[in-house]
A and B are shown apart, each in its own frame.
Chain A
Amino acid sequence: MSTSAVNPKKRTGPVIFSEYNSGDGIKKAFSLKREDILFELKESKLKGRGGAGFPTSSKWMLTAAASSDKKFLICNADEGEPGTFKDRVLLQEYPELVFDGMVIGGYTIGAKYGIVYLRGEYEYIYESLQFYLQSMRKRNFLGNNILGSNFSFDIKIHLGAGAYVCGEETALIESLEGERGEPRNRPPYPVNTGYMGYPTVVNNVETLAAVPHIVCKSGKWFKKFGTDKSTGSKLFSVSGDCNKPGVYELPWGITIRELLNIVEAENTKAVQVGGASGICIPKSGFDRKLGYEDAATGGSVIVFNEKRNMLQVLKNFMEFFVEESCGQCTPCRIGNVKLLEGVEKIEKGNYTFSYINTLKELGNTMKVASKCGLGQSSPNSFISILENFKDEIFKSNGANNDRVG
């Protein structure tokens, strides 16, 4: 019943789940100059796998170039986007990829300390990760003078305490500093002023897991997979109405239809790509490609079949944001409440179309005026679900045009 002792079943996939031996990436990296690693990374066009899709090589270069006696590398394992669980699988089954990626990152940017920010919900993985780190130390993949080089690096695991917004990198840093997990103003960006004010790289678990492969097999090899703008592969966390939910490693550029076939989804009405903060795609969009240039996702793919009530789905998402907003900035704190109230009004049939349009406009304001990615993306599902499923939603919930708001 408990999956805390999952027997590592070997998965297959083009990049992440391809053949890799613990420590290979570190050994290879140490035979290269830092610039060479950055070059390979740039060549690979690897982008952040958390969802925002910032080029990883740029982050690393900026931090490597920053002059500071201390630098930090943080692995963002605060995976909290509804429908995402790939990082859990990576940490449980492939910790060597993530930790080797961190050591390589530390070596490249000149950081001596790495921090894994593990979400509190994954506390049951904590011990096994500590155990793995200990084994790395024994093999001198971590600690002082790694593999006889003059590079020293160690990793500490911090447990979060149940706050979705801490997946936002500056909020994560704030909470590590003992402050409320509230996103910071940017600029300055963490690459300049991060943890404790020092230059800091924050990378997603999956991003770091790709690094050892790129170092071992070259950036050119990596970008063979995927599309021009979305190179490599992606771990998709598929859940909802399908026969084979789970984590799949597939090249970027695969269409939604292809993915639905792989996971054996039937009678699919809609697919939520990118979790609660992503967009909801109806049947007509199933030929859209998953990738940064079209339907971007941090990995979450939730499948809805014909029986699902899309308004209830939307309500669930909006309740999520109302609770998980950090409560700092006005558009996100109050805006999400208004969007949820709007959903409830539709539910009761107590709305006007002009008010719903006002709320959509509010959603557009939230997208541009919120302080961080949470508020900037929370209206996505509101806007896309009401737009793409208006027939279903407004037919069964007739408008009462006598009352405004």
Chain B
Amino acid sequence: MTESDNIRVPVSQQPHSVIKSKKENGIGGLVSIQINEKAVMVPLGTTILEACRKNQIHIPTLCHHEDLCLAGLCRICVVDVEGMKTLQAACSFPITSPLKIHTSTPMVRKARRHIIDLILSEHCGECYSCIRNGNCELQALAKEYGVDGYRFGHVEQPRYSVDRSSVSVIRDLNKCILCRRCIRTCIDLQEVGVLEAIDRGDKTHIGTFLDKPLADVICINCGQCTNRCPTAALSTNDPSDEIWEAIDNPNKHVVIQTAPSPRAAIGEEFGVAPGKSFTGELNSALKRIGFDKVFDTNFTADLTIIEEGTELLNRLKKVLVNCDTSVKLPQFTSCSPGWIKFIEHFYPEYLDYLSTAKSPQQMFGAVIKTFYAKETGINPDDIVTVALMPCSAKKFECNRPEMNSSGYKDVDFGLTTREMATMIKEAGIYLPEMPKTGFDDPFGEASGAGLIFGATGGVMEAALRTVYELVTGREVPFKNLNIEPCRGFDGIKQASVKLENCVNEYSFLEGIDLKFLVAHGTANAKKVMQMLKRGELNDVHFVEIMACPGGCLGGGGQPIPTSAEIRRKRAQAIYEEEASLPIRKSHENPYVKYIYQKFLTEGPCGKLSHKLLHTHYTKRGRFIS
């Protein structure tokens, strides 16, 4: 729970209030227990589930999720504790005294089977017509317990209509098993607060405010709920049918950009252990599927760094030299669409702090339907742009009405990692065995700086590499350009770098400690905004915020399951790939230089840049009408 230690957990779900011994091996630090006759020692306060898992004893779970606070409500994990009249939920029972635990008594097995049977009796839908077929926790449990029929009957007619109002997330309550992971994700992990349990008794269901459609309430589209739903009650809005149609249409020129996070995780969809990137293999697969061009989103990530970095320097100059009080600092990053919607709803009065730079996805769309169309002579009307993203909020972002600066819909479709994997499988391709190929020109090369956007702190690290060098003429003073303070999964990271011996143009920054802050997960973003409100960020210059825990690599469209360990492995894959790249600074990307020479000739933050690469935000507020 390192990422979520400080979340607002309801008292009911907080762990036992035992005072844990500081020294695990000190007096009272360990408790000796018996699990299935085997004697083991566990730290005081360990749950029965944790104790069993440490000892290779499998306990089934459904409502439990390691990212979330305790629930203890599906009851599938019940075990027998000697001396207690009833069975106990292993996931939420803290061990504070010597216990004798039995995990597979006839009563336990019968109870678990009954619980599965009960859930199945209300679970409407057939496995073969389900998006989670093969990756469903309920299906897996049914198999594990040898379910071969509906003991307590089965719902034939759907009881709820499917909510497809949101462009990002689809809710199908017919498949909901009321584990409430989505509630704990939305309220406690992300602090957005869209979903709660509504009504009681047999009418209990997961609902929104007044059971309104998802599109009408304050959902930031982060999709974290879809990542943690054990069934297909929550899923992303899949545009692949339309994409296939475009691919199959000979008159359409279909281009796809791929972001680094999906590349570092898509292998998981093909059974590969987390921690390996499949960038080259994916390029070949996409070509074979029929995409006309495959581009690297990192190219516009580099562009983002140039635009956003320049904007930061401009802001610094206006504040420090011109004493312009209308200019806001710190500057907040703007590439996470979940974060953008979050601030638009919850902190609309602070929109001026956001960088106006578009996200790499949207910059790419605008560049493809202008610069690329011009270079290749293809009518932008015939270009279909697809973005492979780790993210469900990217679907909302590309559908924002203001995202048409090319004169067309800049990005036509946002596709998640999971949806992409299905398309690849549908095309009969086994991704891990594909040959490695490169990206297409004219945006072929991208720097490693763009690559690390995928992990929390990555945008900051990339920006610092460029800004520091622009200002001082020297590389950032960190070994191998690895700005370690930006890395890792602490909820909020803060550090600074001193600007000395600045070049003439930036002499006004001489001696300044450039302070930066990095946060991920909107619960942490909320904390940062409260710090800002209290004036605690007055001396901070630049803030990176990502809506999802872990950054993009933990995005709502990434492979299921997710856990701190899986996210750590994905980050490792990204940083390893980055270390091997020849160019690791955005401003050294030759294609970026080229586009500024050929197309964006007024330079970063120039007139055309502003038209194509920058945007504005909407004060949405919290009121639900």
**A–B contact (CB under 8 angstroms):** yes
Chain A interface (Cβ within 8 Å of chain B)? 163, 165, 170, 174, 177, 179-180, 182, 184-185, 187-188, 192-193, 196-197, 322-331, 333-338, 341, 358, 361-362, 365, 367-371, 376, 405
Q: Which residue of B lies closest to A184 (CB)?
A: B12
Q: What is the CB-to-nearest-CB distance from B172 to chain A, in angstroms, rounded to a whole number?
A: 18
Q: List B369-386 residues whose CB lies under 8 Å from chain A.
A: none
Chain A residues in 8 Å Cβ range of B490? none
Contact B114 A362 (CB under 8 A): yes
Q: Are A371 and B73 in contact (CB under 8 A)?
A: yes
Cβ A328 vs Cβ B73 within 8 A? yes
Instruction: Specify which chain A residues have a CB less than 8 angstroms from the CB of B13 in the assembled complex.
Output: 185
Q: A179-B10, A188-B17 are contacts. A371–B202 as well, Cβ < 8 Å?
A: no
Most chain-B Cβ atoms within 10 A of its Cβ — which of A182, A185, A323? A185
Q: Name which of B116-124, B232-240, B248-256, B307-315 contacts chain A.
A: B116-124
B75 x A331 contact (CB < 8 A): yes
Q: Which residues of B contact A370 (CB under 8 A)?
A: 75, 86
Q: Give A20 to B13 CA distance when docked, in angstroms.
A: 43
Contacts of A358 in B (CB 8 A): 151-152
Residue B74 is within 8 A (CB to CB) of chain A in the complex: yes
B78 interfacial by beta-carbon distance below 8 Å: yes
B13-56 vs A, CB cutoff 8 Å, 1 = contact: the mask equals 11011000000000000000000000000000000000000000
User: Which of A193, A325, A365 touches B202 (beta carbons < 8 Å)?
Assistant: A325
Check if B118 sits within 8 Å of A187, measured CB to CB: no
The residue on A at minimum CB distance from B13 is A185
Distance of A163 Cα from B86 Cα, bound (Å)? 24
Known: A185-B12, A334-B122, A338-B118. A329 touches B197 (CB 8 A): no
The reply to whether the CB of B92 lies closer than 8 angstroms to some CB of chain A is: yes
Q: Which of A331, A335, A336 has the most CB of B within 10 A?
A: A331
Q: Are A369 and B115 in contact (CB under 8 A)?
A: yes
* Beta-carbon contact of B73 and A362 below 8 Å: no
Query: Are B201 and A333 in contact (CB-based, < 8 A)?
Result: yes
In whole angstroms, what is the CA distance A335 to B92 when docked? 22
Q: Does B199 contact A (CB under 8 A)?
A: yes
Using known A-B contacts A197-B11, A358-B151, A369-B114, determine if residue A327 contacts B199 with beta carbons closer than 8 Å: yes
Known contacts A330-B75, A368-B107; is A376 also within 8 Å of B122 by CB? no
10 new A-B contacts, CB < 8 A, other than A163-B200, A328-B73, are: A177-B11, A182-B12, A184-B11, A192-B17, A323-B202, A324-B200, A327-B201, A328-B204, A334-B122, A369-B111
| B435 located at the interface, meaning its Cβ lies under 8 Å from any Cβ of chain A in the complex | no
Does B70 reach chain A (CB closer than 8 Å)? yes
Q: How far is the CA of A188 from the CA of B17 in the complex (A)?
A: 7
Q: What are some 22 contacts across the A-B interface (CB < 8 A)?
A: A170-B12, A185-B92, A188-B16, A326-B204, A327-B197, A327-B200, A327-B201, A327-B203, A328-B197, A329-B73, A330-B115, A331-B118, A333-B178, A333-B204, A335-B114, A358-B151, A362-B114, A365-B115, A368-B78, A369-B111, A371-B72, A371-B75
The 9 A-B pairs of least Cβ separation, nearest first, read A327-B204, A334-B118, A185-B92, A365-B114, A184-B12, A369-B111, A185-B72, A365-B111, A327-B200
Residues of B contacting A182 in the complex (Cβ-Cβ under 8 angstroms): 12
Q: How far is the CB of A266 from chain B (nearest CB, A)?
A: 37
Interface size on B, residues (CB 8 A): 43
| Chain B, range 77-105, C-beta contacts under 8 Å to A | 78, 85-87, 89, 92-94, 96
From residue B481, how far is it (CB to closest CB) to chain A in Å?
A: 47
Given A174-B12, A184-B12, A369-B87, check contact A337 B75 (CB 8 Å).
Answer: no
Are A365 and B110 interface neighbours, CB within 8 A? yes
Counting chain A CB atoms within 10 Å of each CB, the highest count among B13, B107, B178, B200 belongs to: B200
Task: Give the residue name and chain of the A residue nearest to B177 (CB).
Answer: A330
* Residue from B73, B93, B119 with most neighbouring chain A CB atoms (10 Å): B73
B202: chain A residues at CB < 8 Å are 322-323, 325, 327, 333-334, 336-337
**Does B153 interact with chain A (Cβ within 8 Å)?**
yes
**B200–A369 touching, CB < 8 Å:** no
Given contacts A193-B17, A376-B86, contact A338 B12 (CB under 8 A): no
Q: A276 CA to B78 CA in the complex, in Å?
A: 26
Given contacts A323-B201, A326-B200, contact A334 B17 (CB under 8 A): no
Given contacts A187-B94, A334-B121, A367-B86, contact A325 B201 (CB under 8 A): yes
Partner of B75, one of A184, A323, A329, A362: A329
A336 CA to B178 CA in the complex, in Å? Answer: 16
Give Cα A336 to B298, complex, Å. 55
Q: Are B75 and A361 in contact (CB under 8 A)?
A: no
Name B114-136 residues within 8 Å CB distance of A.
114-115, 118-119, 121-122
Q: Which of B74, B107, B110, B199 contacts A330 (CB 8 A)?
A: B74
CB distance from B90 to the nearest CB of A (A): 11
**In the complex, chain B residues whose CB is within 8 Å of the CB of A330:** 73-76, 115, 118-119, 177-178
Q: Which of A197, A328, A338, A368 has a CB less than 8 Å from the CB of B87?
A: A368
The 0/1 profile, CB within 8 Å of A marked 1, for residues 148-189 of chain B is 000111000000000000000000000001100000000000
With both beta carbons as reference points, the residue of chain A lying nearest to B203 in the complex is identified as: A327
The total number of A-B Cβ pairs within 8 Å is 131
**B168 smallest CB distance to A (angstroms):** 27
In angstroms, Cα B434 to Cα A36, docked, is 81
How distant is A51 from chain B, measured CB to nearest CB, in Å? 14
Chain B residues, CB < 8 A from A371? 72-73, 75, 89
Q: How far is the CA of A316 from the CA of B94 in the complex (A)?
A: 38
B12 adjacent to A179 (CB under 8 Å): yes
- What residues on A are CB-neighbors of B107 within 8 Å? 368
Report the minimal beta-carbon distance from A69 to chain B, rounded to whole angstroms.
14
Shortest CB distance A184–B (Å) = 4
User: Once bound together, how far apart are the Cα atoms of A320 and B10, in whole Å?
Assistant: 29
Cα distance, A367 to B75, chains bound together (Å): 12
Nearest opposing residue in chain A for B18, CB measure: A188
Q: Are B197 and A187 in contact (CB under 8 A)?
A: no
Is A334 within 8 A of B201, CB to CB? no
Shortest CB-to-CB span from B175 to chain A, Å, is 15
Chain B residues in 8 Å Cβ range of A174? 11-12
CB distance B86 to A368 under 8 Å? yes
Question: Who on chain B is nearest to A363 by CB?
Answer: B114
Are B153 and A405 interface neighbours, CB within 8 A? yes
**Complex alpha-carbon distance, A325 and B199, angstroms:** 11
Residues on B with C-beta less than 8 A from A333 are: 178, 201-202, 204
Q: Which residues of A contact B153 (CB under 8 A)?
A: 338, 341, 405
Q: How far is the CB of A360 from chain B (nearest CB, A)?
A: 12
Judge whether B11 and A196 touch: CB under 8 Å.
yes
Contacts of A334 in B (CB 8 A): 118-119, 121-122, 152, 202
Chain B residue contacts of A369, Cβ below 8 A: 75, 78, 86-87, 111, 114-115
A170 to B72, CA, bound (A): 14
Tell me the minimal C-beta distance from B275 to chain A in angstroms.
34
A79 CB to nearest B CB, Å? 19
Complex Cα spacing A275 to B197, Å: 28
Docked pose: A368 CA to B14 CA in angstroms: 23
Bound state CA distance, A180 and B197, in angstroms?
9
| Cβ distance B211 to chain A, nearest Cβ, rounded Å | 15
Q: How far is the CB of B111 from chain A (nearest CB, A)?
A: 4
In residues 199-239 of chain B, which contact A (Cβ within 8 Å)? 199-204
Q: In the docked arrangement, what's the CA distance between A180 and B201, Å?
A: 12
**Of the residues B93, B96, B115, contact of A331 by C-beta under 8 Å:** B115
| A63–B203 alpha-carbon span in the complex (Å) | 37
B11 CB contacts on chain A under 8 angstroms:
174, 177, 184, 193, 196-197
Q: Given contacts A180-B197, A334-B121, A335-B118, is CB(A329)–CB(B74) below 8 Å?
A: yes
Give the distance to chain B from A202, nearest Cβ to Cβ, in Å: 15
CA A180 to CA B12, docked complex, whole Å: 11
> How far in angstroms is the closest Cβ of chain A from B249?
48
- Inside 8 A of B12's CB, which chain A residues have their CB? 170, 174, 179, 182, 184-185
Q: How far, in whole Å, are A188 and B301 apart by their CA atoms in the complex? A: 49
Q: Once the chains are docked, how many angstroms separate the CA of A185 from the CA of B203?
A: 22
Q: Which of B76, B111, B204 contacts A368 (CB 8 A)?
A: B111
Q: Which residue of A lies closest to B120 (CB)?
A: A334
